[in-house]
Amino acid sequence: MNGVMYFWGGASWRRDQLLRPNEAIQWHAMKIGRQMGLRTYDMGGGGEYKRKYGGSEIEVPWFRKSKYPWIRYMRHMAERSHKMSQRYLGWFRTAS
């Protein structure tokens, strides 16, 4: 799309992450994109995992305005509860 390749999402089973399957997939995708003449690969978002590929981070501003004020509160609560559940799930998995 306009000379840009986009990463929409990916995952691997935790038990197989030691084999680094996502890295092989990313490098292969970059190689194909380059062969097609694409110069930009938008991996979407930031994070330590994506830094190792040597790209440059850009900031994209976000603006949200809800029709009803209570939706903002619900969105915030959903985000907090998701972060907490992820933290507890990670803790329980490493503790067992």
Residues 39-59: tens digit of each pLDDT? 889 888 777 788 888 888 888
pTM: predicted TM-score of the whole model, two decimal places = 0.57
φ, ψ (nearest 5 deg) of residue 41: -125, 105
For residues 43 and 33, give the distance between their C-alpha atoms in angstroms, rounded to a whole number. Answer: 13
Look at the alpha carbons of 51, 41, 19, 86 in this order and tell me if their dihedral is positive or negative.
Answer: positive
- What pLDDT is recorded for position 78? 94
Question: Domain segments of the chain: what residues?
Answer: 1-62, 64-96
In this prediction, what percent of the chain has a pLDDT beyond 90? 28
